[in-house]
Structure 1
Amino acid sequence: MCTMTWFTADDGYELFFNRDERLSRRRAEPPSVKSDGEVHYLSPTDADAGGTWIAVNAYGVTVCLLNHYQFEQIATYKDWISRGEIVRYFAETEDVSDIKQRFFALNLHDFRAFRMFIVDRSGRNYLCVWDGHTPRVEQNVRTPKSSSSVDARHVKSVRRDLFNRLDLAESQNSSDYVDYHSSHLPSRSKESVCMHRDDAKTVSLSHVRVSESGIEFRYADGSPCEVALSDPIHMSFARQPNSSTDACCSDVQELLAAS
């Protein structure tokens, strides 16, 4: 239950992410600087499971995760690993060129279905998809991306049609995107990008900006129709990736890597 959009610019990109959650879940912790090994990144924290759904690191790489409800596996005795741990694992990414290899190396059967979006400082992007059976990686996918646990195909179609009607694909205006993510069109309901249902709603909006001047993370801690984005948290760029540097966090890698 989320919606993600982005646009690229000459010196980077901007990304917007609505997180939709059940009302029974606890309020997330707002973004802060974290570190896995030597790589620093900005991310909020899921208060229930401890992972995250979005992170941007000091190399200008952003990682986002959307649940893949249409392909959720049948509940079993299996003790699933939180999908939010995958975002933390990939938040250490310096160079996206090995994303496909790293994704296929994971023991994905420990996770429920998901789609993970990764974009680097140049605007190059990857969509890693796990449907519970077969992994795949798509490159240079188009905005927007959305998910819903209720009537998913219809809801995603409505949100995509609104994006197209607003000509957002031709816009590089942050305010246009914030308006979209705050929208109740066609009605304040399961269909709207700012989603409201009896059991769930949009609980936050994240806005990441990566440009030649650095990295910014703004966060609306609540439905964006009600709560404004915060002042940005800033982070400077790290040095460019060094092929001799292994920045992996061994503990997380041991947890997630294929056995």
Structure 2
Amino acid sequence: MCTVSFLPTSINPESGEDLKAGGFILTSNRDEQAGRRRAMFPRRYWLSGCTVFFPKDGQAGGTWIATDEHRYTLCLLNGAFEAHHHCPPYRHSRGQVIPDFFSYDNEIDFSLHYPFDKLEPFTLVVVEYDPLLTLIELRWDGSQLHRTLLDATQPYLWSSATLYPKTIRQKREGWFSEWVNRQQQFSQEAIVQFHRQTGDGDPENDLLMRRPNGIQTVSITSVERNDQAHRVYYHDMLTHTNTTFRILS
């Protein structure tokens, strides 16, 4: 898995003003084996003294996306820079990384002290919004952590390196750039439709993907934050059911 987009919604893209507002939309397509035990819909969990909302993987018990009430939203993709060889045993599932994150004081503490060794490569997108909107990309390549501070006034798209080669990732980024340039303003409904409909007719590499080996887009999760609330949208593509709820800021 998966495909992830980030959209800043409270920032003047030319001046970079209003960083304190921290408005954004983070949306994820989860690409997974359709036969994997179905994930549980998002709900509230209490982790290390923090209230966190996330869907839970039905097989390994972790998650790929989560948001707390006041400071962080995170999303994890399998793989770092390029496809890697699967070499178990690993210490635990990558799905445990996000729940573990909330046992640390902040992202810096996590990046410096989390035991990344013996974990399969992954990319972790970290959105921080207290006091300023900050976007951090953490890539664990199996031997080294690469930390990049991104420009939170700009939109981004990531595609899993384990599923999509570089040429396909670049094509998808082109679709995203074209879509962004057509928008007068960003909305959660519009970006969810982008995640559902975008492609060129190739079911193996369109954003809503399906492959003969059973891997397909099994869910779409979107977290929108403004200064009043979070709005979390979750759609299970296998059962065609969805839920939306608000978390007051």
Range class of TM-score, shorter chain: 0.7 to 0.9
Give aligned-pair identity as a percent: 22
Q: Which amino acid aligns with 2:201?
A: S
Are residue 186 (structure 1) and residue 211 (structure 2) matched? no
Residue 58 of structure 1: CA displacement? 1.1
Q: What TM-score results when the alignment is normalised by the length of structure 2?
A: 0.83
Q: Distance in 2 between matches of 1:169 and 1:113?
A: 34
1:254 maps to what in 2? Answer: none
Query: Kindly tell me: are residues 144 and 150 of structure 1, through their superposed partners in 2, closer, same or farther at Cα, counting changes over 3 Å?
Result: closer
Q: CA RMSD in A?
A: 2.3
Deviations 1:182-224 (A, max 9, x none): 025201412101111122110000110111111221100116x
Change in CA separation of 1:125 and 1:41 when aligned onto 2, cut-off 3 Å = same
Question: Hey, what's the Cα distance between the residues in 2 that align with 1:40 and 1:169?
Answer: 37
In 1: Cα distance, 2:30 partner to 2:163 partner: 15
CA shift in 2, pair 1:93/1:173, >3 Å: farther
Query: 1:24 deviation in Å?
Result: 2.5
Deviation at 1:74, TM superposition (A): 4.3
1:23 shift after superposition: 2.0
What is the aligned partner in structure 1 of residue 114 from structure 2?
A: 106
In 2: Cα distance, 1:133 partner to 1:93 partner: 21
Match of 2:54, as an amino acid? S
Give the superposition deviation at 1:150. 3.9
Q: What is the Cα deviation at residue 93 of structure 1? A: 6.2
Correspondence for 1:213 among 213, 216, 228: 228
- The equivalent residue for 1:45 is 56
Normalised by the length of structure 1, the TM-score is 0.80
1:163 match: 176
- Offset, 1:40: 0.2
Using the TM superposition, give the Cα deviation of residue 26 of structure 1 relative to its aligned residue in structure 2, in angstroms: 1.2
CA contact (8 A) 2:39 2:56 kept: yes
Change (3 A) 1:150 1:174: closer
Q: Give the structure 2 partner of residue 80 of structure 1.
A: 91
| Pair 1:233-2:245 in alignment | yes
Aligned-residue offset at 1:89: 1.6
Q: Give 1:241's aligned residue.
A: none
Choose from 51, 58, 75 the match for 2:69.
58
Q: Which runs of 5+ in 1 are unaligned?
A: 238-259
Pick the aligned partner of 1:153 from 166, 174, 179: 166
2:214 is equivalent to residue 204 of structure 1? no
Q: CA distance change for structure 1 residues 221 and 154 in 2, over 3 Å: closer, same or farther?
A: same
- 1:135 is the counterpart of 2:145: yes
Q: Which moved more, 1:62-71 or 1:36-45?
A: 62-71
Cα distance in structure 1, aligned partners of 2:3 and 2:231 = 20
Where does the alignment leave 5 or more consecutive residues of structure 2 unmatched?
11-20
What SS does structure 1 have at the residue aligned with 2:120?
A: coil
| Residue type of the alignment partner of 2:162 | S
Give the drift of 1:67: 0.5
**Maintained 8 Å contact 1:61/1:119:** yes
- Matched letter for residue 5 of structure 1: S
The reply on whether 1:144 has 2:157 as its aligned counterpart is yes
1:20 is aligned to 2:31: yes
CA contact (8 A) 1:104 1:135 kept: no
Q: Which segment drifts farther, 84-93 or 23-32?
A: 84-93
Q: 1:174 aligns with which of 167, 188, 212?
A: 188
Structure 1 residues 113, 154: closer, same or farther in 2, change over 3 A?
same
Q: Distance between the aligned counterparts of 2:140 and 2:67, measured in 1? A: 22
Q: What's the CA shift string for 1:56-95, capped at 9, x where partnerless? A: 001141011000163535424x34311111101224567x
Amino acid in the other structure paired with 1:115: T
1:242 alignment counterpart: none
Deviations 1:28-56 (A, max 9, x none): 00100001122101100001100000000
Counterpart in 2 of 1:125? Answer: 135
Which 4+ runs in 1 deviate beyond 6 A? none
Look up the match of 2:14: none
